[in-house]
Amino acid sequence: MRCADNPNVSIKLRDHFPFLYTTADGQAWIDRCSAMKPPQTQFAVATATEAIGESDWSNRRSRGGRSLAIGWMSHSGRGIMTLAAKAMVEYVFYRLGVDRIESSTFGWNAASRRVLESAGFAYEGRLVDAVVKDGRATDQLLFGLDRDAR
C-alpha cells in the first residue's frame, strides 16, 4: 500500500502501525490475512486500482479496528472510507453475528469521527490522555453501535 507510507496517514493511526511502511510490512499483512481461519475479520479497502486501507474487526463484542484511515490523504472527500465502514458494519452484524461494535479515534481526528457517525456509530465518551501517539498522550473518543438500535 503505497498510501500507507505517508506521515499524514500514519499520524492518524495507532503506533503499532509501522512508519515507514515497507513492502515487507504490506506482504506480512497479506500473509497474516491469508493464514486466517474463517470467519475472515481483516479486509483491504481498495479502489479499482489500488489498496488504500484495511479494516480489522475482531469477533464477539467486536472492537472496530479503525485502520480505515490508511490512504485517506489521497482519497479524502470521496466517501470511500464511509462506504467501507458501512459495509463492515453489515458484515460484522449479519455475517459474524456480533451484537455490538465498538470503535475509537483520537480526539483531534474529526474526519474519523465523521466516518464513524456516518456509519451509524454513536459517540459514547472521551477518555482524557488515554492513548499515546508518537510519545505524546492524547484523548480517545469512544463510539458504539448496537445491532438492535439500528
Share of the chain above pLDDT 90, in %: 15
Domains of the chain, by residue range, sit at 2-149
Q: Is 76 left (phi over 0), alpha (psi -120 to 50) or beta?
A: beta
2-149: CATH number? 3.40.630.30
- In this prediction the pTM is 0.76
pLDDT tens column, 112-145: 899 899 999 999 999 999 988 888 899 999 998 8
37: Cβ contacts below 8 Å, ≥ 6 apart: none
